[in-house]
Amino acid sequence: SQTIHQWPATLVQPVGSPLSLECTVEGTSNPNLYWYRQAAGRGLQLLFYSVGIGQISSEVPQNLSASRPQDRQFILSSKKLLLSDSGFYLCAWRPPGGRETQYFGPGTRLLVL
């Protein structure tokens, strides 16, 4: 069966520090991968998605970036965090194809102080 992992689970970082969040998927090949952010009490904001190694699409302009160095690894990064980057970051995967269910990881809670 497929599983999706995210780490760390919780992170507290000072403003201006770098960020690296990791997401890995097991039990599937060539998944579509997604990063979302959920601010407190708000809905989901799609940040990036990837349909293959090295292929990243950005949905919103921001100081975050994403990379996919391996088929089942998706990394969210920042060189300098802002207070507004605080939130709950969710990684998700989906089988290739247009109508498939999307599966979410447990999330990383980021607090920027």
From 12-20, 64-72, 78-86, 102-110, span contacting another protein (CB under 8 A)? 102-110
Out of 13, 58, 65, 103, point to the residue binding another protein (CB under 8 A).
103
Out of 19, 21, 75, 90, point to the residue binding another protein (CB under 8 A).
90
Q: In whole angstroms, give the CA distance from residue 65 to residue 38.
A: 16
Out of 11, 46, 56, 58, point to the residue binding another protein (CB under 8 A).
46
- 101 binds another protein, rule: CB under 8 A: yes
18 or 106: CB nearest another protein: 106
Separate counts of helices (H) and strands (E) for the chain: 0, 11
- 66 binds another protein, rule: CB under 8 A: no
Q: In whole angstroms, give the CA distance from residue 83 to residue 76.
A: 17
CA distances from residue 79 to 58, 65, 68, 113 in whole angstroms, order as listed? 17, 9, 17, 16
